């Protein structure tokens, strides 16, 4: 067994490497640029949303207040008439990229801690590179992408976007695996 504190270096370095690679994946390569569609009349859609004065948050349209309301004729008529929407709104102005980048790095650190925990409980000091690679890599892969699959199942996210995010998660998992294998005590 290897303790989490003794794995601080692979946790930190894998997070730095994932952070840097994610920057490259999202700024140099263009495969994420078409993850979202443009509304046909974007200005009109934005004006309509602005006129509602909705605060930043997540919305579902139509919305049922409780399970019983979902069976009401009024609600069912709204569902049949459509369209339905899952909507995420932020306030005006540019999103705070600094805050998001910090949160992404902290998330990567947490994934590194999870990978350290699983690999550290399964393996002892001096284990072969590929054994460490397997445990740390699979754990990191699962953390980076598996939870996102439910957004395609439940919230109509396109499966192509989920597939691209899964590929990203695989890359991040491989980077984490390689870092842990390289720096394993």
**pLDDT tens-digit series, residues 162-180:** 999 999 999 999 999 999 9
pLDDT at 3 over 90: yes
pTM of the model: 0.89
CA dihedral 59, 64, 66, 70 (to 10 degrees): -140
**Confidence bin at 92 (pLDDT 50/70/90):** confident
Residue among 14, 7, 1, 2 at smallest CA distance from 174 = 14
pLDDT at 96 over 90: no
């Amino acid at each position: 067994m290897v303790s989490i504190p003794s794995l601080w270096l692979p946790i930190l370095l894998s997070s730095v490497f994932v952070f840097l690679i994610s920057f490259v994946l999202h700024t140099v390569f263009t495969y994420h640029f078409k993850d979202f569609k443009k509304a046909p009349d974007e200005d009109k859609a934005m004006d309509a949303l602005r006129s509602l004065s909705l605060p930043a948050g997540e919305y579902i349209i139509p919305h049922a207040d409780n399970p019983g309301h979902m069976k009401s004729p009024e609600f069912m008529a709204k569902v049949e008439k459509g369209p339905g929407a899952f909507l995420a709104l932020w306030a005006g102005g540019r999103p705070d990229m600094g805050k998001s980048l910090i949160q992404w790095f902290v998330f990567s650190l947490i994934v590194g801690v999870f990978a350290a925990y699983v690999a550290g409980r399964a393996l002892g000091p001096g284990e072969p590179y590929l054994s460490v690679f397997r445990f740390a890599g699979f754990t990191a892969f699962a953390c980076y992408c598996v939870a996102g699959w439910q957004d395609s199942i439940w919230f109509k996210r396109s499966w192509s976007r989920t597939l691209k995010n899964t590929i990203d998660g695989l890359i991040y998992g491989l980077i984490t695996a390689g870092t842990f294998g390289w720096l394993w005590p």
